[in-house]
Structure 1
């Protein structure tokens, strides 16, 4: 290998190390948390909900999720990214109505980007609001490697 090839290889490795770019083998090393937040009538009949998985990257989080909607009803789901001190970084979500059949519907992934925030996302609140029954549910999930709070707990709004 000539000097130019070695220099390019070293610079490429250094750039990946400094930017935190993941190779395919490293991507599997990011922790994943599964979540499920639902609203029911108390008789195990669901009205609305959200479930899926968070992939916790260096500072940001990718939300891969499904939304449950009962036939003829509407709901709102929000994901709120928080810093370690509980202050809000960013959020994403969806409002939807279902005119067909009660079911879980695959949603587009949501990126909770905190790449410019020191410490990044430490907690995510999942808020589900059932528009028809005016009820809500909220569970807060904590990054698996961040220990001051339990892995999941009811939100303190």
Structure 2
């Protein structure tokens, strides 16, 4: 009976902003929109937030959302069912995106020459670990990185006649 008289509730919302604006935002591998974007959430805890924008480094953050005092046991029941007021729990997340690093042509040529010189002496460096960047149409996390074979650690040298 009291629940019908007291329309209390809790509204949980997060606002994600980025500098520059216009980054695609994924929360727990689900696209929610482009910054600035606001979305409601139900549960507290740690969320994976990922921002992707052309020309900028992909930004992935594990963001913890802690409940306010009125969301702890017993108080939660009162604030969600018996309180006559609406409680708002709003989280504003601001992110600064870094421009994508483009290797200068002279440094790229220098590195290529190093690799050629080392290969002529029989030394081949280990391959770097590949980092998978999602395409604009793919949802991050939809491809299991463990499903691909790992590359060899050292490239074989070509046979000389």
In the superposition, the TM-score normalised over structure 2's length comes to: 0.29
For CA contacts below 8 A with separation 6 or more, give which structure has more relative contact order: 2
TM-score, normalisation: structure 1: 0.29
Q: Which has the higher helix share?
A: 2
Which is higher, the Rg of structure 1 or of structure 2?
Answer: 2
